Amino acid sequence: MKVPTYSLQRDTNGKLRAYTRIKGKKYYLGRYDSSESREMFNRLVSEYFATDGVLHDVDSDTISVAELCAAFNDHAKIYYRLPSGKESKEVSTFATLTKIIVSIYGRLPASAFSPLKLKAVRNNMIKRDWSRKNININISRVRMIFSFGVQNELVDVSVLESLKTVRGLAFGRSAACETEKIKPAPVAYIEAVKNLVSRQVWAMIQLQLHTAARPGEICMMRICDIDMTTS
């Protein structure tokens, strides 16, 4: 992130005023080179970096659900990244989720978002034929958005605590659809690829069958990870 600068501006009366720009927005700090203006500048910069570049001049009484979601999505683009530096799938997942929330309660003050409203968002997910497990995961994501709001003093903690009272959908006790259990691939399907892969890949497949390890774990395996001693 670009480091904001402490800048000087002369107003129409010739007075010197200090200001800084953060993400395109100008913040006036007071009389140039005064201790008060320096203190305010340091506070803004500290909060700017503490919130990963998400700085808002609204308080917990006025911020809307749409503004809170927008702030969180800005944060997600920085926080959810792969080791390569690219954005992870969580960024697009939260973008999809916040569109649903905003379509229903975008103009509502975030302070007024209650358990019943969270259930209404959940019912919208049910109507979209999302699976029960996926819905429960996304309801947890909604709480994460409001937790972010609490951490950055955009939402009162009481809002988050009230949302925690909404229990997850239980199996067979809701209108949400259930997903079928993922079953192992038939051995015949596995044998069918033997002549289509290299001997190294085939050995990895056999090792996975014998150890029940995940593909990623097999790929990361090193010689030093293998006990070659005989009993």
Q: 10 Å Cβ neighbour count for 199? A: 8
With beta carbons less than 8 A apart as the criterion, state whether 121 and 142 touch: yes
Q: Which amino acid is at 134?
A: N
Domain stop point among 163, 197, 214 = 163
Q: How many domains does the chain have?
A: 3
Q: What are phi and psi of 41, to 5 degrees?
A: -60, -45
Write down which residue in 129, 163, 197 finishes a domain. 163
110/200 same-domain check: no
Q: Average pLDDT per run of 10 along the chain, which is 231 residues long? A: 86 83 82 87 79 57 87 92 91 96 93 94 94 96 96 91 96 90 86 93 91 87 83 61
pTM: 0.64
Residue 194: domain span: 187-225
Residues 69, 157, single domain; the answer is yes
Instruction: Mention every residue, 6+ apart, whose C-beta is less than 8 A from residue 36.
Output: 29, 30
CB 142 within 8 A of CB 69: no
DSSP run (H or E) holding 27: strand 25-31
The pLDDT value recorded for residue 51 is 67
Interatomic CA distance for residues 55 and 31, integer angstroms = 22
User: 174 lies in a domain?
Assistant: no
pLDDT at 55: 57
pLDDT value at position 88?
93
